[in-house]
Amino acid sequence: MDTELAQDVIPHGDPLALFAQWYGEARATEPNDPNAMALATATPDGLPSVRMVLLKGHDADGFVFYTNAHSRKGGELIANPHAALLFHWKSLRRQVRIEGPLTQVDDATADDYFHSRARDSQLGAVASDQSAPLDSRRTFVDRFEAAKARFGEGEIERPAHWTGFRLMPEAMEFWVDRAHRLHERRRFVRREGGAWSSTLLYP
């Protein structure tokens, strides 16, 4: 057996620093949306749902994304403020799983990000009742045009229900493809006081 297979390629250490390194490499290699991540939520009764969203910030305080709080995922996040994230970077043959509780970002943070978006994206957020039934595509386009006319060239007001959430990781798991399907997995768990422990897992 190749002796290289016996060498760990996912080191113990700071998982947030390791994520930053992997994310930087993904931004250089992934052809589309290296910040795309699967967001898994659950209802208070434990019924799961999952969808793709975009990471919009990460640091020592956690992982931030934005959504309509009136959407299905928004309602689930508010009712049961715990979630899981999954990044899959096919170009690097790597995955990262992240689990933890959520908090809502403050209004100033939500405003800053909202107004950094393309103007038409801001208008789309105003026009959309995300996850609500829609009778026709025409209705949505008409609402977009009405919002465009209402705000003219002025600043677009962020809808109060359009906001961000921050996931503070309590567990992070890194996976890397290895030869012969002898893949490598390392799971990090945050201990009381903030230090991280880790262990390799069978793939």
Instruction: Supply the pTM of this predicted model.
Output: 0.91
82-128 pLDDT, tens digit per residue, is 999 999 999 999 999 999 999 999 999 999 999 999 999 999 999 99
Nearest by Cα to 53 from 83, 93, 90, 16: 83
Fold of 3-201: Pnp Oxidase; Chain A (2.30.110)
Domain ranges of the chain: 3-201
Active site residues: 181
pLDDT tens profile 137-196: 999 999 999 999 999 999 999 999 999 999 999 999 999 999 999 999 999 999 998 999
